[in-house]
Amino acid sequence: MRKPVALLFFLISFQLLHAQVQTIKHIINKMYFNKDTSKRGSFILVPVFSSAPETGAEFGGSALYSFYTDTVKKTNVSSVFGYASITTKNQTNVTLNGTWWLPGNSVHISGSVGHLNFPFNFYGIGNATSQASEDRVGEYRFKLSFDAEKKAADNLLLGVVGGAFDYIFDDPNPASIYNTDPEVQGKAGGAGVYLGPSVIFDSRNNNTYTTKGAIVTAYLNIMQGMFENNNYQGGFFNIEYSGFFLLNKQLVLGLDIQEQSLLGGQSPFYLMPTMGSDEMMRGYYNGRFRDRNFLAGQTELRYRITKRFGVVGFAGTGEVFHDAFDAHDLKPDWGAGVRYYFDLQKGLSIRADYGVGEKRPGESRQQGFYIALGEAF
């Protein structure tokens, strides 16, 4: 009787395993090879893995759920995005954000909440910091933000932005630039809240894969420090223009210009604009250069090889500065990347970009590799 029982157990196990494999294949096909052209919601997972001496191995993942609030009117894609990672040295990074476009793009709402316990490299203040000054600073951060805009005219939305933050920093090295440079204000961090107006002009034909049109976003954060450790009073201004030009059916030229300024008499280093991210000035370590003002621009040529795959080339320039902008201090930026479009109807993609920046005397050239969801701008 043992052989028939064992055989039956094997057959049942095989069927269960086969069903699980088929289910996994169905999920993978639906997430990464979706051919559905309807306006239904879609979901995708992207694993996160990296390694560095100061963090050890970092494991995690990101997830994106995209949907339409209306499938009849011409409405932008809404989405919810989450990111979470943990390192072998017990550092954590958790972020959740979402953006909603109501039917006909009559109302735009977005929000973000994030908790971070992660060190970063600090080099000082200004557009000419030295790699020799590199200092590892511990950071504990909580941020909450939201904005809401209502349609005031064709392509024009007016609204408000608001949020709260709490920063805590730790640097046990008394001889570091972080602890000795008098230009570094707000070393202990601090908590605060902000509120202010926002404006969006949006004439894009699609908010995820744009081929023509433009978007201008501007906001002013009026900030107030909270509790005894932060008496900051000031503001933060941001304005960004992105324009798109269809050169032919497969070729799109994008142009992106951004300016940011910290306002008020105080200059907490953690509120200053920083250069470098996976969206603007790709290739520069985020925070290597920081100051009260930031101005940068980039252009990107996007070629859609097939419905699923595309390539891009980009070039740009930018700088941070305290008071006066100087064109002689602009830093170069260029690179290339590939795109995989996993949701054809919504124009959603996974991108991989390699960016290259300046080479300062005696230092390695600035460079970086990025994997992210969606276009850079």
Helix (H) or strand (E) holding 73: none
Q: State how far the Cα of 147 lies from the Cα of 128, in Å rounded to an integer.
A: 34
**CATH 3.40.50.720, domain 90-373, yes or no:** no
**Cα 50 to chain center, whole Å?**
17
Of 339, 254, 349, the closest CA to residue 305 belongs to: 339
CB 274 within 8 A of CB 259: no
Contact 53, 119 (CB under 8 A): no
Question: How large is the C-alpha radius of gyration of the chain?
Answer: 23
What pairs with residue 52 in β-bridges? 56
- Indicate the pTM of the whole model: 0.85
Secondary structure (3-state) at 240:
strand
Report the distance separating Cα 143 and Cα 165, nearest Å. 4
Q: Residues 276, 291: contact at Cβ < 8 Å?
A: no
pLDDT value for 152: 97
- State in Å, rounded, how far the first CA of the chain is from the last one: 67
Who contacts 92 (Cβ-Cβ below 8 Å, separation ≥6)?
A: 84, 85, 86, 115, 116, 117, 118
Report yes or no: 272 and 293 within 8 Å, Cβ to Cβ: no
12: number of Cβ within 10 Å: 10
- What is the pLDDT, as a whole number, of residue 366? 93
Query: 83: which strand partners?
Result: 62, 95
One-letter amino acid of 363 = E
Element (H, E) at 25: helix 2-32
> Collapsing DSSP states into helix, strand and coil, what is residue 55?
coil
Q: Which two tokens stand for residue 138?
A: 């511990």
* Token pair of 368 as six digits: 């970086």
Per the structure block, which two tokens stand in for 348?
């959603």
Cβ atoms of residues 287 and 266 within 8 Å: no
Q: Are 118 and 95 in contact (CB under 8 A)?
A: no
pLDDT, one tens digit for every residue, the chain (377 residues): 555 555 555 556 556 555 555 555 445 555 555 555 567 888 998 888 766 666 778 889 999 999 999 988 889 999 999 999 999 888 899 999 999 999 999 999 999 999 999 889 999 999 999 999 999 999 999 999 999 999 999 999 999 999 999 999 999 999 999 999 999 999 989 999 999 999 999 999 999 999 999 999 999 999 999 987 688 899 999 999 999 999 999 999 999 999 999 999 999 999 999 999 999 999 999 999 999 999 999 999 999 999 999 999 999 999 999 999 999 999 999 999 999 999 998 999 999 999 999 999 999 999 999 988 899 99
Q: Which amino acid is at 339?
A: R
CA 99/CA 108 separation, integer angstroms: 7
